[in-house]
């Protein structure tokens, strides 16, 4: 079995990425080992994809990795997933492939910024609602003042009624006049007595 080390170029076996549904049907992945670590007693190799592999990564896979804050240019494999191979790209080809994948990444972040701006607009609308709520509170205060003024008017009306009541007491003098008319009635009664005596 070949010993793998950092800076070795390798080919990834076809079944090594079966657990990544977003990779698609492409299986010809190559890359360079950039780090070797231990995982559960086994050697774990970090492989940086070469130019052709980067260009064949679906955009969906790149975006999903970015959203999960994961690295999409480097993938970890066990030694059983790798076979030593010759390099098949150049620094220039790798730089161009990296530029293309970075464009996908930038597009994702631009969309995220647009979403954040829309969210800020929603917050501004909430502020408008708060202002409307404050206006409603002001209207309630005005209504309270109107009610107090109305109550004051009612108190004034009660005083008016009391004055009217005094006027009605004054009208009792008219009633005395009616009593005075009773005297006239007594005179009539007296006249009747005189007439009866005369008869």
Residue keyed to tokens 């647009």:
114
pLDDT of residue 170 exceeding 50: no
The angle at the Cα of 50, spanning 10 to 103, to the nearest 5 degrees, equals 155
Lowest mean pLDDT among 15-19, 57-61, 126-130, 194-198: 194-198
Alpha-carbon distance of 165 to 169, in angstroms, equals: 6
pLDDT of residue 10 exceeding 90: yes
The confidence score (pLDDT) of residue 19 equals: 79
113-156 per-position pLDDT tens digit: 766 665 555 555 555 555 555 555 545 555 555 555 545 554 54
Domain boundaries, the chain: 9-112
The confidence score (pLDDT) of residue 14 equals: 86
Q: Are 47 and 33 in contact (CB under 8 A)?
A: yes
Alpha-carbon distance of 70 to 78, in angstroms, equals: 19
Residue keyed to tokens 């390099």:
87
Model pTM?
0.57
């Amino acid at each position: 079995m070949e010993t793998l080390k950092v800076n070795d170029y390798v080919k990834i076996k076809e079944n090594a990425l079966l657990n990544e549904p977003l990779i698609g049907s492409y299986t010809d992945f190559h890359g360079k080992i950039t780090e070797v670590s231990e995982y559960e007693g086994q050697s774990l190799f970090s492989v940086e994809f070469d130019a052709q592999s980067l260009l064949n990564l679906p955009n969906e896979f790149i975006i999903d990795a970015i959203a999960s804050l994961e690295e999409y240019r480097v993938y970890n494999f066990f030694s059983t997933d790798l076979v030593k191979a010759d390099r098949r790209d150049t620094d220039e080809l790798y730089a161009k492939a990296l530029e293309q994948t970075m464009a996908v990444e930038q597009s994702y972040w631009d969309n995220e910024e647009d979403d954040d701006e829309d969210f800020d607009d929603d917050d501004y609308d909430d502020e408008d609602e708060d202002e409307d709520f404050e206006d409603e509170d002001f209207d309630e205060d005005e209504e309270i003042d109107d009610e107090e003024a109305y109550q004051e008017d009612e108190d004034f009306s009660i005083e008016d009624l009391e004055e009217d009541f005094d006027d009605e007491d004054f009208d009792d003098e008219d009633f005395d006049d009616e009593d005075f008319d009773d005297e006239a009635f007594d005179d009539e009664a007296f006249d009747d007595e005189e007439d009866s005596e005369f008869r």
